[in-house]
């Protein structure tokens, strides 16, 4: 994989990291947050299908090795709404 490229947790697509949502387990507090922070991270395509797949199979929690609160999924779902209005 070229430098600066990441892989989606659900569909396994590789692309530049700017095309993904970043979910981070912050060190050392183990809190899960979006976009920024130092610690273990994973990436998701900004699509409803990838978000739904990650939620159904609990992929965020498994990848980050920490429980993923429902509020994280709700925040990501809220990011989808403005995109669907413009289509």
Looking at CATH, the fold of the domain delimited by 5-81 is given as Hypothetical Cytosolic Protein; Chain: A; (3.30.1230)
- In the chain, domain spans: 5-81
**Number of other CB atoms surrounding residue 46 within 10 Å:** 14
What does the DSSP 8-state code read for residue 4?
T
Confidence of residue 87 (pLDDT cuts 50, 70, 90): very low
Asked if residues 59 and 9 have their Cβ atoms less than 8 Å apart, the reply is yes
Beta carbons of 67 and 61 less than 8 angstroms apart = yes
pLDDT in tens, 49-70: 999 999 999 999 999 999 999 9
Q: What is the pLDDT of residues 3-54, one digit of tens each?
A: 899 999 999 999 999 999 999 999 888 899 999 899 999 999 999 999 999 9
């Amino acid at each position: 994989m070229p430098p600066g490229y990441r892989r989606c947790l659900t569909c396994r697509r590789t692309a530049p990291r700017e095309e993904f949502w970043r979910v981070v387990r912050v060190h050392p507090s183990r809190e899960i947050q979006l976009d920024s922070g130092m610690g273990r991270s994973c990436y998701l395509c900004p699509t409803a299908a990838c978000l739904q797949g990650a939620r159904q199979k609990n992929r965020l929690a498994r990848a980050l090795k920490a429980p993923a609160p429902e509020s994280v999924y709700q925040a990501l779902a809220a990011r989808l709404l403005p995109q669907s209005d413009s289509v």
